[in-house]
Chain A
Amino acid sequence: MSHQTLNLVDIAVDAGAIRLVDGVSLTLARGEVVALVGASGSGKSLTCAAALDALPAGTRRQGGQVWLDGAPIAPERLRGRVVASVLQNPRSAFNPVRTLGDHAEETLQALGMEKSCWKERIHRALREAGLDEPQRLLGLYPFEMSGGMLQRAMIALALASEAPFLFADEPTTDLDVIHQREILDLLAGLRERFGLGILLITHDMGVVARLADRVLVMDQGCVQESAPVEAIFRQPRHAVTRALVAAHLSLYPAQEITP
């Protein structure tokens, strides 16, 4: 698979007469991590969902296009094969009456993968996501797994698809710092080795600092600032960006942040 770039062009989302996302454009290349940050309710998840044609009931895409390697592509054709996704709320992404193994089979079947490869692929993906004992875990129902286990399982299912791009919406919110570091290292490794292109939604500027190449800051449905990660931390221009960076740095002792 040799897809190289994904463009979201002028994405807009409405709920009734209210505009929730207003003309968001971004480019994501293979091997690149673009972070989408901004206050709660600024439109990050809806932007991502609109690009994949997975908007929640009550909202509608009002315009915009997605381009793959310079040609328009229908959003529903992206999902799964071209773009794997990790949703903001892991528990709601799983059907409560089906085991993790059922979910894994469904995912791999939808990708048309040879059945004889399933087991090896899914076991490896679970281990990579920090879940030991994959055989036991595949037999568990969602209610038998902790929040962080579900989050890692969802990441594993996304990675098992080996899609060239990943949209990850708050992928580490339920993880302790050790598992978080492992997942971020894993994603960084996939970017290096396999050229995974990642659109990363997060509120944690520490995650941004660790992984992102470029940062887009959203506020009230619009992108207010877009810059390389170093510039975002060193010279934030927009008030929203300055507030995000200042709040983040206020959690660290002075000697760790003086440039």
Chain B
Amino acid sequence: MSLLSARDVHHHYSRTSLFRTRTAVAVLEDVSLELQPGEIVGLLGRSGCGKSTLARLLTGLETPTRGEVLFEGAALSRLDKARRRDFRRRVQMVFQDPQGAVNPRLTVAEIIGEPLIHLTDLPRARHAGRIVKLLKRAGLAAPMAHRYPFELSGGELQRVCIARALASNPSLIVLDEAVSNLDLHLQIQMLDLFALLSREQGVAFLFVTHDLRLVERVCSRVLVMERGRVVENAAVSAPLSLVSSEGRALAEAVLPALPRRLSTAREHLAPERVC
């Protein structure tokens, strides 16, 4: 059985305009997808195509205008209280905007401690130790626990959010551009951690990203969205080969590896001199 699935999901936002006419803006149309335990699935698409909206629907933060999201086969809208709590513990999200996702008045330890208090049965006496361990997994030192969000760099706060998402031992983590502020070395370290969790504990990941190079490195499957629809759902091979026109347009725009003057120098080399 799928861990999480979306069935014919549509989503609209309505706006009341200056003249009090309500207009509906369609953001998602006819989205269906399945996520299996232990899978790492990439989600690509242009800015504004609906990735964050889909992520919010899948994690139950918003309810689709039409269609259903199902957790282990049961519709989110019909979960009883106990199953709802189970869902909240087992499906976590790391938001695109880390500043907006944390309470600025809480310390890092309190931020990571919240899911431990509300979603787990871990005895209070063991929280501090667990928090240090979670920080370490995210590449942060223990003293960081006493800082406030405004005392952290962009990438440090992003990793605090990753540590928080790991706190309740979830089965699925939705990562919405969750490594976008990290240097590549840390990005790779985080991706290696996700791969390890997926391999050893069967944790699944939905990895929303714009970096096709990372999708190729870590994902087993990739979804491509275009204007609110999923237009491609494909296994990932190296090199990544996408067939939808949107997927190909994205692949074609990946930045070159080297500065132009170096790569043109290379093109001018005689073939026998290329090693």
A167 on interface, CB distance cutoff 8 Å: no
B63 on interface, CB distance cutoff 8 Å: no
B79 on interface, CB distance cutoff 8 Å: no
Give min CB distance, B248 to chain A, whole Å: 11
Give 1 or 0 for each of A144-181: 1 = CB within 8 Å of chain B CB.
Answer: 10111100100000000000000000100111111111
- Contact, CB under 8 Å: A41 / B156: yes
Also in contact, A88 and B185, with CB within 8 A (given A177-B253, A178-B249, A207-B255) = no
Give 1 or 0 for each of B10-31: 1 = CB within 8 Å of chain A CB.
Answer: 0001010000000000000000
Name B181's contact: one of A38, A170, A248 (CB within 8 Å): A170
- Contact, CB under 8 Å: B256 / A147: no
Also in contact, A203 and B183, with CB within 8 A (given A230-B259, A230-B261) = yes
Give Cα distance in the complex from A250 to B155, angstroms: 21
- Contact, CB under 8 Å: B262 / A147: no
Give min CB distance, B183 to chain A, whole Å: 4
Name A45's contact: one of B44, B154, B275 (CB within 8 Å): B154
Give min CB distance, B90 to chain A, whole Å: 26
Give min CB distance, A200 to chain B, whole Å: 14
Also in contact, A259 and B262, with CB within 8 A (given A39-B185, A203-B184, A247-B188) = yes
- Contact, CB under 8 Å: B210 / A176: yes
B257 on interface, CB distance cutoff 8 Å: yes
Give min CB distance, A19 to chain B, whole Å: 15
Give Cα distance in the complex from A146 to B49, angstroms: 9
A51 on interface, CB distance cutoff 8 Å: no
In A239-254, the 8 Å CB interface with B consists of 243-244, 247-253
Give Cα distance in the complex from A170 to B154, angstroms: 10
- Contact, CB under 8 Å: A204 / B99: no
Give Cα distance in the complex from A258 to B263, angstroms: 9
Give Cα distance in the complex from A244 to B261, angstroms: 20
Give Cα distance in the complex from A234 to B261, angstroms: 11
Among A45, A148, A177, A206: residue with most chain B CB under 10 A: A177
* Set of chain A residues within 8 Å of B47, measured between Cβ atoms: 146-149, 152, 174-176, 179
In B43-66, the 8 Å CB interface with A consists of 44-48, 51-52
- Contact, CB under 8 Å: B250 / A233: no
A205 on interface, CB distance cutoff 8 Å: yes
- Contact, CB under 8 Å: B151 / A40: no
A70 on interface, CB distance cutoff 8 Å: no
- Contact, CB under 8 Å: A252 / B181: no
B180 on interface, CB distance cutoff 8 Å: yes
Give 1 or 0 for each of B149-184: 1 = CB within 8 Å of chain A CB.
Answer: 011011110010000000000000000010011111
Give min CB distance, A35 to chain B, whole Å: 11
A58 on interface, CB distance cutoff 8 Å: yes
Give min CB distance, B179 to chain A, whole Å: 10
Give 1 or 0 for each of A187-213: 1 = CB within 8 Å of chain B CB.
Answer: 000000000000000011111111010
A257 on interface, CB distance cutoff 8 Å: yes
A116 on interface, CB distance cutoff 8 Å: no
Nearest 6 Cβ contacts at the A-B interface: A148-B47, A40-B155, A206-B255, A177-B253, A251-B213, A203-B183
Since A89-B99, A175-B210, A181-B253 are in contact, a sample of 15 more A-B pairs with Cβ atoms closer than 8 Å, ordered by chain A residue number, is A40-B155, A40-B156, A40-B186, A89-B97, A90-B97, A146-B51, A175-B47, A176-B46, A180-B210, A210-B259, A234-B262, A244-B185, A256-B256, A259-B265, A259-B266
